[in-house]
Structure 1
Amino acid sequence: MIRVKICGLKTLADVQAVAAAGAAYAGFNFFPKSPRYVTPAQARELALEAPVGLAKVALVVDATDDLLDTLVETVPLDMLQLHGHESPERVAEVRARYGLPVMKVLGVAGEEDLAQILDHSVVADQLLIDAKAPKGAVLPGGNGVSFDWRLIAGRRWLRPWMLAGGLTPDNVAEAIRLTGASQVDVASGVESAPGQKDALRIAAFVRAAAEAAPKPKPAFVMPS
């Protein structure tokens, strides 16, 4: 089974579309420069409408303890997603302070970026392997760009991991086949405009990911 995370939800309709499509994670973006930004109060209202079983994830970028305190106290969260320059030490500190699973996002552009993945896999609960933001980009993610998926083809780490970066309903199946990913994340790839989710694209993305899952081999039956 391929688990899907739809990130950057802003409206009740977004949450309903994600739940109806069968996604596993709903992501709320707390980076103020993002077109997908929501306040803690807005996220609380949306999270309270999420059905049981849909994991609620907070995306933050180099967040202070004050911000994380507010988020954890306000929003019923299931996971924290660290999308900044957090060191392994900071990841471990956040995990210990809040008692929530932590997903660390790591940008990849070339072979030289892979060592950091192993370093963080020792302390994070999950890893999100994303395309490194283009030079000069305002956003650390959600830029609609991908990386050479062959760089991580067949690789395994100490923790569950998720693939992100430029994924769309049209290419997610190929990305899963090339990398072996069992989890995928999307934001801009299911939008009609920056920050505006498209329910049809969300459904198509989840469906395409599910159809790319490896098919179980039939059990061997002894001839009678």
Structure 2
Amino acid sequence: MLRIKICGITRVEDALAAAEAGADAIGLVFYPPSPRHVEIVAAQAILAALPPFVTRVGLFVNPQPDWVRAITEQCPLDLLQFHGDETDDFCAGFGRPYIKAVRLSGPTDLRPWRERYPRAQGLLLDKENDRVYGGSGESFSWWPLPTDLGVALILAGGLRVDNVAQAVWQTRPYAVDVSSGVEVSPGEKDRGKIRNFIHSARAALQET
């Protein structure tokens, strides 16, 4: 079954809307330059409101180790997501499973990335952008993803209600990750877009 993550959550009501629509995971951004950055107190409220069996993901970009430790000590995260230039040793050093973002522009041999991050539970494929580390709303050229890497491949980058079905049909990923594609403004999600995105993504997989 296709897994779906709604990222860049900043409000309790958006987290609940994602869970009610059937999202498997929600993402909280702990990167102050991001317009979707969430403070610790707000993150705690969001996480406390979530029902069971929704994976809680914390996103970081080239963080200081003490910052990651502070977050994981105060917020009950299930999974860490790193979007910068972190090493495998760094990502695996916080007592949580992790996924690593790979920034690219089109068809890419992912085996070197798998070798570079052997302890990653997933590789998140996002659009390469010189200005931002993810959340740009830009997509890249999709291609059939390999099935023999031994790691979950998560499709991100410019996904929306009107293109997620095509993306899933072309790539057949383990999961899709959306942020700006279900927003009315940065950090403010739209309940209808979330619901329609999840429906379109899962329907596409059933049709392939």
TM-score range with shorter-chain normalisation? over 0.9
**In structure 1, C-alpha distance between the alignment counterparts of 2:75 and 2:32, rounded to whole Å:** 17
Q: Note if 1:165 corresponds to 2:157.
A: yes
Structure 2 residue aligned with 1:22: 22
**TM-aligned CA deviation for residue 214 of structure 1:** 3.4
Deviations 1:132-166 (A, max 9, x none): 12x3x1x200101011102xx14132211210000
Structure 1 residue aligned with 2:61: 61
Segments of 5+ residues of structure 2 without an aligned counterpart are none
Look up the SS of the partner of 1:52 in the other structure. coil
**In structure 2, C-alpha distance between the alignment counterparts of 1:14 and 1:111, rounded to whole Å:** 33
Q: Structure 1 residue aligned with 2:134, among 125, 137, 141? A: 141
**In structure 2, C-alpha distance between the alignment counterparts of 1:121 and 1:142, rounded to whole Å:** 22
Structure 1 residue aligned with 2:182: 190
Contact persistence 2:40–2:75 (CA under 8 A): yes
Segments of 5+ residues of structure 1 without an aligned counterpart are 217-224
**TM-aligned CA deviation for residue 61 of structure 1:** 0.4
Change (3 A) 1:188 1:9: same
Aligned Cα root-mean-square deviation (Å): 1.7
Could you say which structure has the larger radius of gyration?
1
**TM-aligned CA deviation for residue 182 of structure 1:** 2.6
Equivalent residue letter for 1:61: V
Equivalent residue letter for 2:146: R
**TM-aligned CA deviation for residue 45 of structure 1:** 1.1
**In structure 2, C-alpha distance between the alignment counterparts of 1:164 and 1:45, rounded to whole Å:** 26
After TM superposition, where is structure 1 displaced by more than 3 Å over at least 4 residues in a row?
110-116
Q: Note if 1:4 corresponds to 2:4.
A: yes
Change (3 A) 1:58 1:179: same
Equivalent residue letter for 1:25: A
Contact persistence 2:87–2:117 (CA under 8 A): no
Equivalences, count: 207
Look up the SS of the partner of 1:98 in the other structure. coil
